[in-house]
Amino acid sequence: MKVVIDMSVMIYGKNPCKEILAAGRPVRGAFIQSGTNADLAAGLKAAGIPFCVLDKKAFDRNYPGNHQGVVFEIDGYKTLTLDEAFSKHAAIVHPLYLMLDGIEDPHNLGAIIRSAEAGGVTGIIIPKDRSVGITGAVAKVASGALEYLDVIEVTNLAQTIEKLKKHGFWIVGTAMDAVKKHTDIDVSTPLCVVIGSEGKGMGRLIKDSVDYCVRIPMAGKANSLNASVAAGVIIFEILRKRG
């Protein structure tokens, strides 16, 4: 495995910090605002993890933003290579990967990760460059889902698609001009669904590499959905069809 560039990540918020404790992830440092989060303080004590209690003024000064009175410092999130993912997921009959092409907003990535974990996605594939990485902001929006979902980092999405095909995956792209609907996806095979960025969608080379594209029918006048919303609609349709 390899570690993202950040040597450590600051995690803000109650839910992600609770999941970090539940998953047994090592905590480098823990900081709690006085008079808040008694349950997390108890969890830290039970796990033998020392923590620092700060008054509200000091906490806000040191940790600005929507911290909800708790911040954990942890090691940077580790990602898998594609080969490591193949090995780890070998026993899964029909794995489902989500490939993200050009997602640069950490809130979108965090929301996608949260939906993906809830919807049974096996792993998320992100490019090493031209994409947001796994940051504290992403982890907060993901609300603990990063503790349970594999993130696969690759250098070239087009080459990754070809490698996935050789391993029996069908690659489904998303495009507003597609003939097929998202309800037409054949879920009886290993799948990789590609979600493009807002506005631009999938890159041309990626669009040319997928097996087929699908669209989400819309009744309104807006011509596109937020990437995280589109990902959620497709993920849960696949989950529904797979029973």
How is the chain split into domains, by residue range?
Answer: 2-75, 79-242
Where is pLDDT greater, at 199 or 241? 241
Residues 227, 243, 16, 190, Cα dihedral to 10°: -60
Quickly list H helices, the chain: 14-23, 38-46, 56-62, 82-88, 106-118, 136-142, 157-166, 204-209, 227-242
φ and ψ at 168, to 5 degrees?
Answer: 90, 5
Q: What is the percent of the chain with per-residue pLDDT over 70, rounded to a whole number?
A: 96
Where is pLDDT greater, at 222 or 138? 138
- Per-residue model confidence (pLDDT) at position 133: 84
C-alpha distances in angstroms, 6 versus 76, 137, 228? 6, 13, 24
- Per-residue model confidence (pLDDT) at position 2: 41
Between CA 54 and CA 158 the distance in angstroms is 49
Least confident window among 39-48, 122-131, 206-215: 122-131
- Per-residue model confidence (pLDDT) at position 132: 82
- pLDDT band of 42, cuts 50, 70, 90: very high
C-alpha distances in angstroms, 147 versus 11, 16, 103, 139, 144? 12, 9, 21, 9, 6
Q: Average pLDDT in the 39-66 region?
A: 94
- pLDDT band of 66, cuts 50, 70, 90: confident
For the cut 60, the answer to whether the pLDDT of residue 34 exceeds it is yes
- DSSP-based three-state secondary structure for 15: helix
Across the strands, what pairs with 123? 97, 150
- Per-residue model confidence (pLDDT) at position 39: 95
- Per-residue model confidence (pLDDT) at position 131: 77
- Per-residue model confidence (pLDDT) at position 165: 98
Between CA 30 and CA 214 the distance in angstroms is 45
For the cut 80, the answer to whether the pLDDT of residue 96 exceeds it is yes
Q: Average pLDDT in the 46-54 region?
A: 95
- pLDDT band of 225, cuts 50, 70, 90: confident
- Per-residue model confidence (pLDDT) at position 8: 84
Question: Residue 37 carries which side chain, given as an amino acid letter?
Answer: N
Give the CATH number of domain 79-242; options: 3.40.190.150, 3.40.640.10, 3.40.50.300, 3.40.1280.10.
3.40.1280.10
pTM: 0.88
For the cut 50, the answer to whether the pLDDT of residue 4 exceeds it is no
What's the gap between Cα 233 and its chain centre? 15
Q: Structurally, what CATH architecture does the domain formed by 2-75 represent?
A: 2-Layer Sandwich (3.30)
Least confident window among 49-63, 85-99, 150-164, 212-226: 212-226
For the cut 50, the answer to whether the pLDDT of residue 1 exceeds it is no
Q: Average pLDDT in the 227-232 region?
A: 94
Between CA 236 and CA 116 the distance in angstroms is 9
- Per-residue model confidence (pLDDT) at position 200: 78
Burial 146-157 (b: 16+ CB within 10 A, else e): bbebbbbbbeeb
Are 108 and 226 in contact by the 8 Å Cβ rule? The answer is yes
- Per-residue model confidence (pLDDT) at position 123: 98
